[in-house]
Amino acid sequence: MPNPTAAMLVIGDEILSGRTLDSNTNHLAGKLTEHGIDLREVRIVSDDASAIVSAVRALSNGFDHVFTSGGIGPTHDDITADCIAQAFGVSIDVRADARALLAAHYERQGSELNEARLRMARIPDGATLIDNPVSVAPGFVIQNVHVMAGVPSVFKAMVASVMPTLTGGAPLLSQSLRIDRGEGDIAGPLSKLADDYPQLSIGSYPFQKDGKYGSNIVIRGQDSAQVGAAIERLALEMGV
């Protein structure tokens, strides 16, 4: 059976302006790979309602799971929750359980649960909450879309909350081999190897070090014996 598929939607002007390097995608990608879920597409869109709504609809229709990052804080530029509600045609309002979480948190902190903070308790109708052990304000899941925070420490905590709820497939195993020759020298044998192992994914990643060309070859697949056999054949052919 093929593995479940996934897409990620990163929401935020700060990524598209170049101010912030997105690291959430890389984190999620690693966790999904370990879990046997194939991340097939990532989109990054700005804090723009129509862009968010249409991306959510397209990805929710196209993949088994969708994960979003960003735009669920208390400030005016945090519009993700409203856009998700709009994408699925459901209402959104402050919900008692989310409000109770925030009320207890801010009471412990000695801060006021003001109107801005209360925005973080607005949850689309029919969603379930995602636990946030870092800063309490919850994420949520609606249909196949997991809505999480953009701050990397909070995003990671929410991913950890979500991952055990997902049914994974066979984890993708990988082995890699460093070959100190340029890609152009090894492309022929590599292509034959790929033909002989159609179930494996064989990637070649060139690098340059101290003025010399080299290639990292990464072989991925679900059958560890097959991955091992392909790596061995390559090592033998390349004399490494």
Kindly list the residues in this chain that would bind a second copy in the complex (CB under 8 A).
10, 12-23, 25-33, 38-47, 51, 73-77, 106, 111, 114-117, 119, 135, 151, 153, 172, 174, 182-188, 190-191, 194, 201-208, 218, 220
Closer of 128 and 216 to a second copy (Cβ): 216
> Measured in Å, how far apart are the chain's first and last C-alpha atoms?
35
CA angle, residues 99, 103, 107, in degrees to nearest 5: 175
Give me the least distance between CB of 26 and a second copy, in Å please. 5
Q: Are 147 and 140 within 8 A, CB to CB? A: yes
Give me the least distance between CB of 126 and a second copy, in Å please. 26
Give me the least distance between CB of 211 and a second copy, in Å please. 11
**Tokens 């109770």 belong to residue:** 100
Closer of 40 and 233 to a second copy (Cβ): 40
Q: Are 79 and 49 within 8 A, CB to CB? A: yes
Any idea what DSSP says for residue 197? Answer: -
Closer of 126 and 133 to a second copy (Cβ): 133
Closer of 19 and 96 to a second copy (Cβ): 19
Q: Are 147 and 80 within 8 A, CB to CB? A: yes
Give me the least distance between CB of 154 and a second copy, in Å please. 9
- Burial class for 98, CB neighbours closer than 10 Å (0-12, 13-18, 19+): buried
